[in-house]
Structures are given as structure tokens and as C-alpha cells.
Structure 1
Amino acid sequence: MIGRRKLGKQIGDLKVGDSFEASKRMDDRDLLLYLGLTNDSNPLYTQHDYASQTPYEKPVVPSVMLFGMVSSLVSMHLPGPGSHITQHEMTFPTPVFHETEVKFLLEVIALDIEENRAALAVTGYNEEGNTVIQGKLYVTPAYQPNSLTASSLENFF
């Protein structure tokens, strides 16, 4: 346990074909939080006047923000708490605009038991069914704590 939350799946709990799906609306609030945190002032993300004069025609969601959503799904759901992304390859073939709902799908496509590593395919679709994110992640699933004191820290969270 980590505090009151269980660890995610360990490598032995995963199998090829395991998947997780979730949707997230790219609302202005989340976009402004991201931009404030990163101090990113790209006018393509916020200025309608500027974006209207580009091929995008309206402000877009930063691709790294989409990847952040994927990272959160890995950390919280598949494999879950205690996991860590060690490598990723992503493409963003279609821009995502503000207030668009994106459906994310993660799927385990390969396992390396000896290296404690899982490969996950990532796909995201917008409301029209267009692919907005596609790629592959390598993830180290949660390790089981092996010290006697590991469980004694539960009360401090």
C-alpha cells in the first residue's frame, strides 16, 4: 500500500491484451493550469486572433498536455500506482482544439518479465473519430516493497 491506495499491477499481473479506456474534455481551465505551470505563452494555444490566421484556424491544445493525460492514465490505471514510463514514442496526427473530448486507449502489447517492462500501445481519438495521438510506451510496473519497514510508513500518508 501507498498510504491508503494500493499499488498498481505488477509485471506478473499483466497480460498482453489488457487495456484501459478513458475520456477527457480539454477544457480551458485545464489548459490555463498547464500554461501557468509551464510558463508557455505560445499564441497558438491561447490567442484566437492569431490562431485564426494559421492553418489550424483556432487555438490548439499543446501536444505535451495530451501526453500528460496519457501519463496520468498509466500512473493511475494501467499498470497503475507505482509504475513509471521509461520511454515513449508519440505522434499527434490531428490537432486537438479547446473543449474537445478525447478518448484515450491504452493496451498492453508486449511483456518482458525479466526486465520488469511492459510495452503499451496508445491511441487517442477526438469526437469525430480522428486519431489525435498514437504511439508506444515502455513502462516499469510497480515493484512490491520488500523491506520490513515499507508497510510501517503507511500511517504517514
Structure 2
Amino acid sequence: MLKNFSIDELGIGMKASSTHLVTEEKVKLFSEISGDYNPVHLDEVYAKSTRFEKRIAHGMLVSSFISSLFAMQLPGPGCIYISQSLLFKKPVFINDMVTAEVEITAIDTVKNRVMFETRCYVDKVIVLQGNAEIFIPKV
């Protein structure tokens, strides 16, 4: 059963994380869903000519792992994503294992908003980082 945290149950420093394997299938499905068919994601020959030298996952696919943490873990179902900043620090490749993590940095009980640091890692190296604001509906 999924937990819905009320704003009163949340505290600064609370974290949630999840791990995801970036597969060929996920990259292809994300291309279809998003309409982003950039050859750096799909064409190995093209990708070899880039600075990455092989295909990379869509940055927004990787950032979606953060979104799923908010919806499914912390603060949980019913929360509303208000804003997100993202800095893509390193590429994520096919077959990389990505760990997404969110951590509460501030809570506004008047506006029912919670601020988070957001990060994604591959082999303990930060590949994506940013900040997010989430609205917590009153239950």
C-alpha cells in the first residue's frame, strides 16, 4: 500500500531513492512517447561521431525517475509537481543503472509546499541534479 504523507509528517532531511536500469526498450519507448527521435539516442553510428562516442539516454527520461519518487514514495500519491530545475552533469548510457534520490530541504506549511534537492547517480557519480517544489494537498 502506498503512503500519502501529510505536510505535518514531513521533515527536513527526509529522503527517498529508487534504482532504474536504462534499457534499449526504455529509450525507444521514451522516444515514441516524447517524439524525441534525436539520433544521439537511437543511432549507434551517429552517436559514435559525437563527443559521447555512443548512444545516450534522454535527459528527461532520467529526470522522470525523480518524478516517480515524488508520486510513489515521498511525499506520495496526490502530490502536485510545481517546479523543477535540472542540471545535466554527465551522460547516461544504455545499460547504466541510475539511482534517483530526493531530499527535503525546506517546508512551507502555510502554502503546503515542500522543497527538495534532486539527484541522479550512476556508480555514485552525480549525472543530474536540481531542485524541486511540490504541493501537498490537504487530505
Identify whether the pair has TM-score above 0.5, normalized to the shorter chain. Answer: yes
Q: 2:13 aligns with which of 10, 14, 17?
A: 17
Write the mapping of 1:73-112 to structure 2, written as runs, cut at 5 A: 73-112=69-108
TM-score norm. by structure 2 comes to 0.95
Which structure would you say has the larger Rg?
1
Q: Distance in 2 between matches of 1:118 and 1:109?
A: 8
Say if 1:101 and 1:77 are closer, same or farther in 2 by CA, change over 3 A. same
Aligned counterpart, 1:47 = 43
Within a 5 Å distance, the mapping from 1:29-44 to structure 2 comes to: 29-44=25-40
List per-residue Cα deviations over 1:4-56 (Å, max 9, x = no partner): x6561111110101101111111111111111112221000010100001100
* Runs of at least 5 residues in structure 2 that lack an aligned partner in the other structure: none
Distance of aligned partners of 1:89 and 1:54 in 2 relative to their CA distance in 1, 3 Å threshold: same
Q: Secondary structure at the match of 2:53?
A: coil
In the alignment, the residues of structure 2 paired with residue 64 and residue 143 of structure 1 have an alpha-carbon distance, to the nearest angstrom, of 29
Q: CA separation in 2, counterparts of 1:6 and 1:25?
A: 22
How many residues align? The count is 139
TM-score (norm 1): 0.84
- Structure ranking higher in strand proportion: 2
Structure 1 segments of 4+ aligned residues over 2 angstroms from their partners: none
Query: Identity over aligned residues, as a percent?
Result: 25
**Counterpart among 93, 117, 120 of residue 121 in structure 1:** 117
